[in-house]
Structure 1
Amino acid sequence: MSRTLRSLVATTAAGLLAAVLAAAPPARADDLVTHHEFQANCSPTVHRPDDPIVFPGLPGASHMHTFLGNSSTNAGSTTDSLKAGQTNCRTPDDKSAYWFPSLYNGDQLVVPNFPQVIYYKSGILRYQEVRSFPAGIRFVVGSPTATQEQFRTAPGAVEGWECGDSAHNWDFPAWCPPGSQLNVRYQAPSCWNGRDLDSPDHKSHMAYPDRATLVCPATHPVPVPMLEFKMAFPVSGDMSRVRLSSGRGYTWHYDFMNAWDGPTLQALVSHCVNGGLQCDPRGYDQYKPHRGAALGPDYRLPR
């Protein structure tokens, strides 16, 4: 083969390769990137019949809720009051409020007995485009009035309720192996309308991505982190008396009020979500240690 022909073949091959790479979709979970997430680990603080999103300024107006993270959360909480409060989240600059309907076994309150996991993930295919939450955003995920069919078919349902080898339960399992934990997973919407920090129903300013394309709808074009609550309750054996303060298992729902330090949240989103990593609360992926961490050893942004 002549030098001219070899040069032409090489140039053509390089051009084809460039075209293929340009047309290739973003990395999926089965090739280059397996995760795009980080964790918030927060423990229960208090149990109150308050809901500062649905019933702001009205203590006792709601069913009982279990609050995580910020110890100051009550019916009168605002973004400013949360930022002035204290948190037990592993990342101390996460002053956000997280809460859900309290779980009971008969009349006995069942309290998670170790730090719970709240994932911040990409809900869209192009995880590189996820943006940080705007300051002060708040929303409700799920509904205390949902039917079992609504819970089963909700775009936020992941595993439903599970314990032992029993999974995909849309109400509480009848029995859990002694010593096991009752778990629930449920995903939040991850597309924001780009304007409102709240809405009259506390949901309409948020939307789920299209299930087929994992792209945000035109009405809610801004991709933000997808929250996934993974809560574990130390209850097992006969589950016939287990209930939520809002009713049956399919009335599971939760609330979020963002009170993160903005630069800290942005660092975690950029490093872990946009960077395609599986991070702990420090922003460190133990499977890819060469990528480093977003935060320092004290779980704070280096100053």
Structure 2
Amino acid sequence: MRHARRSPSVRRGITLAAGGGLLLASFLPAGANASALPAARAQTINCPDVAGRLPQVPAQAKAEVDRNLAQLGTQVQEAERRLATSAGQGGPAFVQNAILGPLRDKRVAAINRIATAIGRVAQRPAGLDALAACTLTGDAGGGQGNGMDMGNGMDMGNGGQGNGTGNGGQGNGNGAGSGGQAQQRPVASDFVDIRRVRPNAQQARAGRRGSRGTFSSRCGRNENRHSNSDNFIVAPGVSNGAHHAHDYVGNLSTDGNSTDQSLAAAGTTCSNGDKSPYYWPVVRLRSPNDPPQNDQAAADGNVGRVLRPASVTLQFRGNARSRVTAMPRFMRVITGDAKAATNGPANAHASWTCTGFENRRLTDKYPLCPRGSQVTRVLEFPSCWDGQNTDSANHRTHVVFPDQRGTCPSGTRAVPQLRMRLTYNINLSRRQLAQGKVYAVDSFPEQLHNPVTDHGDFVNVMSDNLMRRAATCINQGRRC
């Protein structure tokens, strides 16, 4: 690996994140106070999503597929622990030979077991082996000039090329702190004036047999600041499993260790007794003048002041073509894809707009709203249930979206469709954007705060009686 020349007055240090993840090597001037600088970027292992690439898993294979998907998660956790505890060991090929290589071999075996389990009762999925190899994000050897941008015109990066995904980017000396150009995203080009967007929102028209009512749970705006970077649906039992913070409303106990039993026993912020957890990534206001953050969020690349929503609407709606049936208790439902920037937009179902302009929707840009208009996030959830399962291996195949006409696929039935609508008081000008003041949704480090990664999660912990009331209200065309 070729490195740029360094001044004799520069010394090198490697630190560990609070959560045990390895931080990038940072290059500090002699005598500099590390605590006064922005936190360096955490080095984490990024593996392709296997669950999201699977076809519908037959019931006969579900237990074995779920067991091996869990094993894939355990393998990555073990590799990240090895990465953290082996900092500074070996030569330039140590991480590849001692961590990433063995991890790939283990993943090949687990993925092959998944394909075999499905192949016994259905067509064996092809191409899964391509998902075995993992890379590093925040790699000190990834990309060009991926060191620390001091924010004062002095790029302290090493200028080298490596094997990582290069999330550090090129330090250009005009950022807010650590990580250089890529970590500074979003930038001005990631925003668009909503008034320049043509109307594009489409909604299926309710037919004669459709269900037109709505049912809302009023659960607040997270006034009690219930937030963490866990996700018990996708990464159960894992602390900081999401690498980005979520806002929670509804269930008061939600964290990475939540179970059906713990959720049912907890209290709620919802006025109607709905104990369901509703959660989404936080939005932060970011500025070059923000003080350094030396916490896990900053280590994961999520910096800035967390903005509490001005309003949160949790509304269940009907189906354009049929009546809805009550959703089973403890059913897990997710929308969007937290890794859509790298996986592609196939599962991206969140949109961004402004109040007063909600017939204009954006998916891969953030809106600039005129004064008096609020930034708005709309997260619509799938609502065609297979009638049997409360979850699936990829958390998607048991409940899917209707088609553009609102019709559910054969073999599924309509359940109440959750629609989250969140608004924020954010008014930024083009001039402020050019100066580096932006807002952004929290994301996995390698997703670079792309708005297409917005997503939401929900578990139905309503009592059976409350869910029946919701379905009846919707089918009768009432607003409840």
Q: What secondary structure sits across from 2:326 in the alignment?
A: coil
TM-score normalized with structure 1 length: 0.72
1:74 equivalent to 2:280? Answer no
Residues 111 and 234 in structure 1, CA contact (< 8 A), matched pair in contact too: no
Q: Which residue of 2 aligns with 1:20?
A: none
Count the aligned residue pairs. Answer: 242
Could you tell me which amino acid in structure 1 is paired with residue 262 of structure 2? Answer: S
Higher helix content, 1 or 2: 2
Q: Distance in 2 between matches of 1:139 and 1:32?
A: 25
Q: Which residue of 2 aligns with 1:35?
A: 212
Gaps of 5+ in 1: 1-27, 284-303
Q: How does 1:120-139 map to 2 (within 5 A)?
A: 120-126=316-322, 128=323, 130-139=324-333
TM-score normalized with structure 2 length: 0.47
Q: What secondary structure sits across from 1:195 in the alignment?
A: coil
1:206 equivalent to 2:402? Answer no
Q: How does 1:1-303 map to 2 (within 5 A)?
A: 29=206, 35-43=212-220, 44=222, 45=224, 46-62=226-242, 63-92=244-273, 94-106=274-286, 107-114=304-311, 116-126=312-322, 128=323, 130-147=324-341, 151=345, 156=349, 160-166=351-357, 167-173=360-366, 175-212=368-405, 214-219=406-411, 221-238=412-429, 240=433, 241-246=438-443, 247-270=449-472, 272-277=473-478, 279=479, 283=480
1:30 to 1:135, Cα distance in 2 relative to 1, 3 A: closer
Q: Which residue of 2 aligns with 1:16?
A: none
Q: Distance in 2 between matches of 1:135 and 1:173?
A: 35
Moved more, 236-245 or 190-199: 236-245
Q: Distance in 2 between matches of 1:149 and 1:60?
A: 21
Q: Distance in 1 between matches of 2:261 and 2:219?
A: 20
| 1:118-137 deviation digits (Å, cap 9, x = unpaired) | 111113412x3x11110110
Could you tell me which amino acid in structure 2 is paired with residue 201 of structure 1? Answer: N
Gaps of 5+ in 2: 1-204, 287-303, 444-448
Higher strand content, 1 or 2: 1
1:148 to 1:249, Cα distance in 2 relative to 1, 3 A: farther
Could you tell me which amino acid in structure 1 is paired with residue 377 of structure 2? Answer: V
Q: Distance in 1 between matches of 2:211 and 2:413?
A: 23
Q: Distance in 1 between matches of 2:355 and 2:476?
A: 33
Greater Rg by CA: 2
Q: Distance in 2 between matches of 1:30 and 1:134?
A: 25
| 1:245-290 deviation digits (Å, cap 9, x = unpaired) | 11221111100111101111101211x211012x1xxx2xxxxxxx
CA RMSD of aligned residues (A): 2.6
